[in-house]
């Protein structure tokens, strides 16, 4: 019974996500669903991505948070359109929330939409939003055992960004083993070690992103 209800919820979500994707496609907007633990660096990555793609593509952002609008305020200073979703206690975005937000995004004026999901490695993996690619940030201080503990989100990711590599000298983290485990779960995944603090690896990330948009 419980499983049936869950299937219905997820089925309805997939349907709305499909409608969102059609809306994005009809406006030639490429959408990324950006997921991570709290504090892994989603907002920092968005800021660095906006800076590096200035003049190359037009970006919009949907910010997902439980209650605040701190990140949306920081991002709007970069001069890109930002729409805030507050889940009011909910631990993930869903396609219905994304649909409401999309109605407030100037889709005609952008080519790339980055949707910052709620900081959580569990439920966001279950709810498609209409995105074209799922991108997961996993940061060095979280430890290299995360793929074993949160397998679904690593399995669903099109790209995994290993953030905060500037902290590698101070922490135990086997980047090679971590990457091999992810590749074992998800053969097609792209992996980008990077640091939003030093800028290392960000060129590779934005090049991949532009290539996905057909601007490679």
Q: How many chain residues bind its own copies (CB under 8 A)?
A: 34
Locate 180 and state its tokens. 């091999």
Quote the CA–CA distance of 136 and 17 in Å, as a whole number.
19
Where does this chain touch its own copies (CB under 8 A) — which range of 9-17, 51-59, 86-94, 176-184?
Answer: 86-94
Asked whether position 131 contacts its own copies by CB under 8 A, the answer is no
Asked whether position 195 contacts its own copies by CB under 8 A, the answer is no
Quote the CA–CA distance of 137 and 27 in Å, as a whole number.
27
Where does this chain touch its own copies (CB under 8 A) — which range of 54-62, 95-103, 114-122, 178-186?
Answer: 114-122
According to DSSP, the β-strands at 159-163 and 133-139 are parallel
Asked whether position 118 contacts its own copies by CB under 8 A, the answer is yes
Element (H, E) at 50: helix 42-53
Question: Nearer to its own copies by C-beta: 91 or 203?
Answer: 91
Quote the CA–CA distance of 183 and 4 in Å, as a whole number.
32
Q: Residues 87, 89, 93, 96: is their CA dihedral positive or negative?
A: negative
Task: Point out which residues pair with 116 in neighbouring strands.
Answer: 34, 63
Q: How many CB atoms lie within 10 A of CB 200?
A: 13
Closest approach, Cβ 90 to its own copies, in A, equals: 8
Question: Nearer to its own copies by C-beta: 78 or 126?
Answer: 126
Residue numbers 46-85 binding its own copies by CB under 8 A? 65-68, 70
Query: 35 near 116, Cβ under 8 Å?
Result: no
Where does this chain touch its own copies (CB under 8 A) — which range of 32-40, 109-117, 179-187, 203-211?
Answer: 32-40
Q: Which residues bind its own copies (CB under 8 A)?
A: 37-39, 65-68, 70, 89-91, 118-123, 126, 139, 141-143, 145-146, 148-152, 164, 166-167, 170-171
């Amino acid at each position: 019974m419980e499983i049936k209800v869950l299937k219905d919820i997820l089925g309805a979500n997939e349907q709305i996500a499909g409608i969102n994707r059609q809306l994005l496609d009809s406006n030639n907007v490429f959408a990324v669903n950006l997921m991570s633990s709290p504090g892994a660096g989603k907002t920092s990555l968005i800021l660095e991505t906006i800076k590096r793609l200035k003049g190359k593509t037009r970006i919009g952002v949907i910010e997902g948070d439980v209650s605040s609008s701190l990140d949306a305020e920081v991002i709007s200073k970069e001069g890109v359109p930002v729409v805030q979703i507050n889940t009011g206690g909910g631990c993930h975005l869903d396609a219905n929330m994304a649909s409401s937000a999309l109605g407030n995004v100037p889709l005609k004026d952008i080519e790339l939409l980055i949707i910052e999901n709620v900081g959580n490695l569990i439920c966001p993996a279950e709810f498609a939003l209409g995105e074209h690619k799922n991108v997961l940030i996993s940061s060095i201080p979280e430890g290299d055992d995360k793929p074993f503990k949160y397998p679904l989100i690593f399995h669903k990711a099109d790209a995994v960004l290993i953030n905060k590599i500037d902290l590698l000298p101070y922490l135990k983290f086997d980047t090679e083993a971590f990457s091999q485990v992810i590749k074992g779960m998800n053969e097609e995944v792209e992996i980008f070690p990077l640091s939003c603090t030093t800028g290392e690896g960000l060129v590779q990330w934005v090049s991949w992103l532009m290539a996905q948009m057909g601007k490679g």
